[in-house]
Amino acid sequence: MSPELAADRENWLQRWRAGQIGFHQATPSPLLVECWDRVDAPEGTTVFVPLAGKSVDMPWFAEHGYNVFGVELASLAVEQFFAEQGLQPEISHTPKGVLSESGPLALLCGDVFALDEADLAQCGAFFDRAAVIALPRGLRQRYAREVYAKLPRGCVGLMITLEYPQHEKQGPPFSVAEAEVRELYEPDWDVELLVRRDILKYQQSFRDEGVTALQAVAYRMQKR
């Protein structure tokens, strides 16, 4: 494991231990609700949710007829997710980590970088709201090369990024420009920008840190 990846893992786990989870949303992501129909993911397919945390986007998918395969490093997040959803998951131990399952929801407590093609073979769709923007640039390159490369051909999904002047705030979440998304993914994916929305007025924490502009950007992607 590279020093950068080890440091990023420890930072993520420490945030959960300390309850520093301002990135968690209590309601489904507005851009998910707005844009998912345009992704054209077949109902009943499995949606891959990387760095899932305890996201309420996962039950939203279940309510709309999808299966969910979430991957989360922090065991505390997994425990809180099922407790807050009022679910008692079945627990099994796998080579990649502890798998908790309840109905259409499956959440693996493990390292997303350790997944292989077999782990993701059933994932006909993905939703990435928290993963790509949580990683520093060097790991974003690895993430595209080592995780997205293992998703099956034809996989469709929705990626949501943030764009802001990176020098105004220390990530995570990091600013990920459209040019970088296209550079990292267009060699293997069709990338379509769906929405670019100014959201600074809704993000007090960014304003408090002196950020002067903030946009949320949604992309539809399909693997060739």
Res 26: pLDDT: 77
Q: ω into residue 172 within 30 of 0, thus cis?
A: yes
In the chain (224 residues long), the average pLDDT of successive 10-residue segments reads: 58 63 73 98 97 95 98 93 96 97 98 96 97 93 96 98 96 96 98 98 95 98 98
Q: What's the CA gap between 120 and 189, in Å, rounded?
A: 16
CB distance 210 to 168 below 8 Å: yes
Q: What's the CA gap between 162 and 199, in Å, rounded?
A: 9
Tell me how far apart the terminal alpha carbons of the chain are, to the nearest angstrom: 30
Extract long-range pairs of 82-90: CB within 8 Å, 24+ residues apart.
82/107, 84/54, 85/59
Q: Is the dihedral of CA 130, 110, 5, 150 positive or negative?
A: negative
Please report the domains of the chain, with CATH numbers, ordered by start residue: 3-223 (3.40.50.150)
